[in-house]
Amino acid sequence: MTWAMFVQHALNGLTLGSLYALIAIGYTMVYGILRLINFAHSEIFMLGAYFVLWGLTLFYLPWFVAIVVAIVVTAAIGILVDRVAYRPLRDAPRISALISAIGVSFFLQNLTIVAFGALPREVYRPAWLENPILMGEVRVLPLTLFVPTLSFLLMLGLVWVVYKTKPGLGMRAISKDIETSYIMGVPVNRIISLTFGIGSALAAASGIMWALRYPQLQPVMGSIPGFKAFIAAVFGGIGSIPGAVVGGIMLGVIEIMAVAFFPDLAGYRDAFAFILLIVILLIKPTGLMGARLEDKV
C-alpha cells in the first residue's frame, strides 16, 4: 500500500466515522439521562434528510434556510416522539419504553413510505461540494474536512451545555436519580424534552450530511447507519458524549482499514463492527470512556 493510498483510506474512514459520531451523540444523550435506547433515532436521522429535500423541492428554499428549517422541524418531532411514546411510560418498566421505541421506529419508517414514496430519491448537491481538493494523489472532498470539524465543535458545545449550564445541571441530576430530581424541583419533563430536542437536531444534522456524502434518500436509509452509530456509542461508552465521538470515529476508521488491509474480506465489513462490539463488551463492559454507571450523562 502506498502512502497516498493510506492517507486516502484514513480520510475516507474519518469522514464515515464522524458521521457515525454525530448520530451516536444522540443515542448516548438519551441513554445517559433516561437509560433508554431510542431506536427511533435512526428514523429521526432519516427524516432530517427528507425534510431538507422537501424544503428544497417543494418550497424552493435556499440551501442554508432549508437546512435550518429541517433541523428545527426534526427537533420538534423528536420532542413530540418523547411526549407521545415515552413520557406516558416514564414509570413503566424500562422494557416497555424500549418496545415503544421500536414501534415508533417502524411507524416513522412506514409513514415516510406513504408520504414520500418508497423509491430512493436523488439529492442535488451544491457544486462546491462535488469538487474534491487535490493534494498530490490524495483527493479530499470538502465534506471530509467539514464533517469531523463539525462533530468536534458540537461535542465541545454539548460538553459545555452539560457541565456549565443550568439545564445541563438538570440533565446530570436526572441521570443520577430521576425521582429525587422531581422532589428537588428540577423541571424534569422540560429537561428531557430539551435532551430529545438536542439529540434529534444532531440526528437531523448528521442525516443531512449523510445525504450530501451519499446522495440518495430512502425511507430505510437510517437503519444501517443507526445500527453502526449505536455500536459506536456502546464502543465509546454509552452515556458519554466524548465517548460517542471517539467511538464513532474509531469505528469508521476501523471499518475502512479492515477493507484496506484485507480486501478479500470486504464483504464481511459489517462483521468487523459487530466483532468489535462483542470484544469491547467482553473486555470493558462500560466501553472505552464509559465511567461507572452513576456518572453518566
Partner 1 sequence: MKKLFVLAFLMVLALAGTTLAADTVKIGVYLPLTGQMAYGGQLELEGIQMASKEAPTVLGKKVELFVVDNKSDKVEAANAVKRLIEKEKVVAIIGTYGSSLAMAGGEVAEKAGVPMVGTSCTNPLVTQGKKYSFRVCFIDPFQGAGAATYAYSGLNAKTAALLVDVSNDYSVGLATFFTRSFTKVGGQVVANLKYQAGDQDFTAQLTEIISKKPDVLFIPSYFAEGAIIMKQVKELGAKFNVMGGDAMDNPKIVEIGGAAVEGFVHTTFPYDPSMKDMSPIAKKFTENWKKAFPAKEPNVNAALGYDTYLMVLDAIKRAGKAEPAAITKALAATKGFEGVTGSTTINATHDAEKPVGLVQIKDGKKTYIGSITPKL
Interacting residues toward partner 1 by CB under 8 A: 1-2, 5, 8-9, 12-13, 16, 113, 118-120, 122, 130, 132, 134, 139, 141, 210, 214-216, 218-221, 223-225, 255-260, 263, 266-267, 269-270
Residue with Cβ nearer partner 1 (142 or 187):
142
> Shortest approach of partner 1 to residue 2 CB, angstroms?
7
Hey, is 135 helix, strand or coil?
strand
Residue with Cβ nearer partner 1 (197 or 248):
248
Residue with Cβ nearer partner 1 (120 or 285):
120
Residue with Cβ nearer partner 1 (88 or 132):
132
> Shortest approach of partner 1 to residue 102 CB, angstroms?
18
> Shortest approach of partner 1 to residue 231 CB, angstroms?
15
Beta strand extents in the chain (DSSP E only): 121-122, 133-135, 138-140, 216-217
Residue with Cβ nearer partner 1 (88 or 120):
120
Radius of gyration from C-alpha coordinates of the chain: 19
Phi, psi at 52, each rounded to 5°:
-65, -45
> Shortest approach of partner 1 to residue 28 CB, angstroms?
22
Hey, is 133 helix, strand or coil?
strand
80: cell is 413530540
> Shortest approach of partner 1 to residue 213 CB, angstroms?
8
